[in-house]
Chains A and B, each alone.
Chain A
Amino acid sequence: MSLADNVDGRRLTAVGAVAALPSTLPLAARERIQRLMIYVNREVGGPATFLGQAPGASHEGWVFRVGDAPGSKLVVRLEPDEGPFLDYDGEREATLLRRLADHGFPVPRVMAVGERDVVGSRFMVLEWIEGEVLNPFAASDMAPTERRNRAEVMASMLARLHTAPWRTLAGTAFTADPGDPPEVVDDGLDAILEQFGRALAQLRVVNSVVLDFVRVWLERHAPERTVQQSIVHGDFRLGNLVWRGDEIVGILDWETAKVGDPLFDVAWMCMGATKGSDSIMGLVTRDEFLNMYAEASGREIDAADLVFWQVVAAWVRGCTEARLLDISVMSHAPPARDARDLSWEFGSARTEEELFQLIDSYERSR
């Protein structure tokens, strides 16, 4: 991932006119950027230079440089009015990030948390971490030894997160009921089912019959699982990791983090892999990754529990896809359907196919 250190070769001051920002940006965005530059100048210190839009689809984000020192980039990430995630709490995420940083995890430093009076949405100012973000397609071009090494590093980082003291890291902000005695174990499944069930109920045009069926299936089979807890990232994958050489120097996008079953993160990494021989993000097979994680964490993975959480993860992905498609369709005048619609339909049909493959696999294992 790289970002140019200037926009059209111009440096903009914190009090630069809206007209000085790229004209390709909508006027409303330029006004928000202008206000954010003033905020950054005041709260973080130093004249802010606008560099461009931040990567990622779930949040509006803008990248600035503050001061002249190298590596002084930061990202301002706005909370969405309507996006893929319900129940998002920016303050909770900021608290978790600060505690993770205190415990030595490579996460962006929280520099400030802004309120709605600045740009109409709450936002977070985060340190920009320099490095490389890989995509699964690039991974498949690597030598086998490099792919294996990166998979081991990811497994180790995930295991480190899952074995960290979650009560200390999460405090009371993430637990379903802070008043519960310590022996009550809540792996967050009920909250996931409730949150994404609500997302399905809010769909206006997208057909969710398979997703609604799978929710019932999850309720029926939930009592069969072993319940455990840890800090769960919620979206741990290559696209949210910053590398420098063969070291992870940044874990990004903690907006879906929670206290839950660590197998959710493992299952999320195994997305699309319905068999042990299937590839994980172009790196290693699912079975190889599970062995790496088990060795790094010291935990044995129950095969049926893993597949159960793979169903949960695929269902969450399906609900998110449906919500994004529904928002997209309803945000325009009724469009004529064209060939590009095929990609959406194909994606949701493949998710549904994966769900049924995993369900079959689970039921054979019981």
Chain B
Amino acid sequence: MRGTEPGELLKIVVALLEHQVLPVVETQSGRATLLLSIGMLDNLAERVEERRDLVERERALVDALMSALPERVRELALVNPSGSTDRPAPTAELISVFRVLAPKSTVLDDEDTDAWLRQCQEALKERTRREVALLNPTRYLRSQNT
């Protein structure tokens, strides 16, 4: 098992439970309980791998948006220039930029700011789409809901 990714390990466990343990459980309550457990593990297996990818994608998204920050907004938000090692967590930095812009800043009227905000909108919309797709039920929860 050494070197096996956590998600793969969970899928191995799910397969073992499903094909080797479940067939020998005789009582209906026992089967129902075991199916519920298999469903939770199956759901978790999908999320462990996707969640790691999502975190990496979010970091890349925020870095790209912060790199594209218009100079006037960067000055307003007192954001460190790209490449500086003394930076807060990327998402927190992006949030702080939005909070500087929010209370009717005149910078909102700039064309550069408008273009950057549209870029943010598309990037965050795509991020949200991936998040919702990730959180949709996996096969066991779907079958239990039908």
Task: Give the residues in chain B near A210, CB-CB below 8 Å.
Answer: 124, 127-128
A212 to B103, CA, bound (A): 11
Shortest beta-carbon distance, B78 to chain A, in Å?
A: 17
Does A160 interact with chain B (Cβ within 8 Å)?
no
Are B44 and A339 neighbours in the complex by a CB distance under 8 Å? Answer: yes
Does B108 interact with chain A (Cβ within 8 Å)?
yes
Q: Which of A175-218 contact B (CB under 8 A)?
A: 193-194, 197, 200-201, 207-210, 212-213, 215-217
Task: Give the residues in chain A near B108, CB-CB below 8 Å.
Answer: 216, 219-220
The residue on A at minimum CB distance from B44 is A339
Does B135 interact with chain A (Cβ within 8 Å)?
yes
Q: What is the predominant secondary structure among interface residues of chain B facing chain A? A: helix
Interface centre among B102, B103, B135 (most CB of A within 10 A): B102
Does B91 interact with chain A (Cβ within 8 Å)?
yes
Are A353 and B132 neighbours in the complex by a CB distance under 8 Å? Answer: yes
Q: What is the predominant secondary structure among interface residues of chain A facing chain B? A: helix
Are A201 and B94 neighbours in the complex by a CB distance under 8 Å? Answer: no
Task: Give the residues in chain A near B128, CB-CB below 8 Å.
Answer: 210, 349, 352-353, 356
Are B99 and A197 neighbours in the complex by a CB distance under 8 Å? Answer: yes
Does A102 interact with chain B (Cβ within 8 Å)?
no
Are B120 and A201 neighbours in the complex by a CB distance under 8 Å? Answer: no
**Could you tell me how many residues of chain B have their Cβ less than 8 Å away from some Cβ of chain A?**
27
Q: Which of B62-101 contact A (CB under 8 A)?
A: 62, 91, 94-95, 98-99, 101
Task: Give the residues in chain A near B33, CB-CB below 8 Å.
Answer: none
Are B95 and A212 neighbours in the complex by a CB distance under 8 Å? Answer: yes
Shortest beta-carbon distance, A249 to chain B, in Å?
A: 36
Does A359 interact with chain B (Cβ within 8 Å)?
yes
Does A350 interact with chain B (Cβ within 8 Å)?
yes
Task: Give the residues in chain B near A342, CB-CB below 8 Å.
Answer: 43, 47, 135
Task: Give the residues in chain A near B98, CB-CB below 8 Å.
Answer: 209, 212-213, 215-216
> With contacts A220-B108, A349-B128, A353-B129 known, is A215 near B95, CB below 8 A?
no
Are A208 and B102 neighbours in the complex by a CB distance under 8 Å? Answer: no
Task: Give the residues in chain A near B62, CB-CB below 8 Å.
Answer: 209
Shortest beta-carbon distance, A121 to chain B, in Å?
A: 31
A193 to B117, CA, bound (A): 18
Are B121 and A209 neighbours in the complex by a CB distance under 8 Å? Answer: no
A339 to B44, CA, bound (A): 8
Shortest beta-carbon distance, A323 to chain B, in Å?
A: 15
The residue on B at minimum CB distance from A347 is B135
> With contacts A209-B95, A212-B99 known, is A219 near B104, CB below 8 A?
yes
The residue on B at minimum CB distance from A210 is B124
> With contacts A217-B121, A349-B128, A356-B128 known, is A212 near B102, CB below 8 A?
yes
Does B53 interact with chain A (Cβ within 8 Å)?
no
Does B57 interact with chain A (Cβ within 8 Å)?
no
Does B8 interact with chain A (Cβ within 8 Å)?
no
CB < 8 Å: which of A197, A207, A339, A359 contacts B91? A207
The residue on B at minimum CB distance from A208 is B95
Are B95 and A352 neighbours in the complex by a CB distance under 8 Å? Answer: no
Jot down 18 A-B pairs with beta carbons below 8 A, ordered by A. Answer: A194-B103, A197-B103, A207-B91, A209-B94, A209-B98, A209-B124, A210-B127, A212-B99, A212-B102, A216-B102, A219-B104, A220-B117, A339-B44, A349-B131, A352-B128, A352-B131, A353-B128, A356-B128
A residues touching B (Cβ–Cβ < 8 Å)? 193-194, 197, 200-201, 207-210, 212-213, 215-217, 219-220, 339, 342, 345-346, 349-350, 352-353, 356, 359
Given contacts A209-B62, A210-B124, A353-B132, 4 further A-B contacts (CB under 8 A): A209-B98, A219-B102, A220-B117, A353-B128
The 6 residue pairs across chains A and B that have the minimum distance between CB atoms? A212-B98, A349-B131, A356-B125, A352-B128, A346-B135, A215-B102
